Structure 1
Amino acid sequence: MTRFALLAISAFVVTFLAVHFLVLAALPSRIMSTVRTQMVERGLPLHHWQMSPQVTPETQTVVRPSPDLAYTICLIDLTAGPVLIEVPTWPDYGSLSIFDANTDNIYVGSLDARLPGAPAMRRVILGLPKHDLDEADAEAEQITLKRPEALALIRRLAPTRGAWEEAATLTPESRCGPV
């Protein structure tokens, strides 16, 4: 094999590894940062649940939100300390998902009140490794994140306008804020 061929193969491998790192390590964090910035620019405050409008062709801002689901979102920052999330259950399908700064889905909990043993309120406390979550709230489910930025998303089955409005009444009963 010639020196040129070895150099070409080496350059390909180095380029492949650099692109691989960019796509798998750096890009998700950048995507979440961009999403958070856009949400803040649209007026979504930190540590506050906000209901999305009912999905219709006119309100659709992402490619495929389900028109049968009511969405509620909360931006989270753990810099100042742990954050407690409290979300009422729903008489049909519902879920609470938490995404970290790398867009990884780090938590999913059911909000379906029909399930045996379903609590009336799903309680999750989020913190960083330096936070004592037991001291903050020993009763809640505990999630430790590596970075302070996160996003919580509630999905509830609400196929009709009436169901969507009923889901909207639960937003004020929900909590997403510092402990």
Structure 2
Amino acid sequence: MKRWLGPLLVLGVAATIGWYATLAAAPQVIMARAWDRLAEQAGVNRMTHSPLVTASRQTIVRPSPDLAYSVCAFDLSDAPLAIHAQPVPGHYWSLTVFDHQTNVAFVASDRDSKGAPVDIVLATAGQQVPVGVQRIDLHADKGVALIRVLVNSRETFDSVREYRNQSWCRPVG
């Protein structure tokens, strides 16, 4: 029995290290794949307003068919990024910024803004932003900003689109 103790201990340590490495790396790998797909389809540092999701048209796994998505895959390596989220009256909406590890760096919704637009600037350390703007500091250059609007019925989608098209993201400067 003693001769199995050493190999079992080595196996346990290796399994623990493998498990931890997987947990540590998974968010970055997931976000890198998602960022690449979104950047390829929609471009970088620009807001794209997608049509309602169907089973045959989905970029991200398991999107909600009740939500209209607007997405901005961003890269802050050249400049900070300004984001403007236009509220959609009578509809739940939210703006969420995810960093390179899928962490939520910022979130605001219709309940937070009370009908006013949300304007933020994403920046990394050392980048200058205009005075008076809400600065959101990120530890890495890449991430995704996502606006979701609850579409009460497919018949209201055109009126929702009118407001969504007023939301944008673009480099500062």
* Structure 1 alignment gaps of length 5 or more: none
Deviation of 1:75 (Å): 0.8
Question: What secondary structure does 2:78 align onto?
Answer: coil
Asked if the contact 2:49/2:165 (under 8 Å) is kept, the reply is no
- CA gap of 1:17–1:66, structure 2 versus 1, over 3 A, is same
Matched letter for residue 83 of structure 1: L
Corresponding residue number in structure 2 for 1:120: 116
Corresponding residue number in structure 2 for 1:16: 16
Q: TM-score, normalised by structure 2?
A: 0.86
Q: TM-score, normalised by structure 1?
A: 0.84
Deviation of 1:171 (Å): 3.6
Percent of aligned pairs with the same amino acid: 32
Question: What secondary structure does 2:98 align onto?
Answer: strand
- CA gap of 1:128–1:20, structure 2 versus 1, over 3 A, is same
1:83 aligns with 2:81: yes
Matched letter for residue 85 of structure 2: V
Corresponding residue number in structure 2 for 1:32: 31
- CA gap of 1:39–1:20, structure 2 versus 1, over 3 A, is same
Give CA deviations for 1:44-64 in whole Å, capped at 9, x if unaligned: 111111111212334345443
- CA gap of 1:89–1:131, structure 2 versus 1, over 3 A, is same
1:167 aligns with 2:167: no
Corresponding residue number in structure 2 for 1:70: 68
Asked if the contact 1:49/1:171 (under 8 Å) is kept, the reply is no
Give me the CA root mean square deviation. 2.1
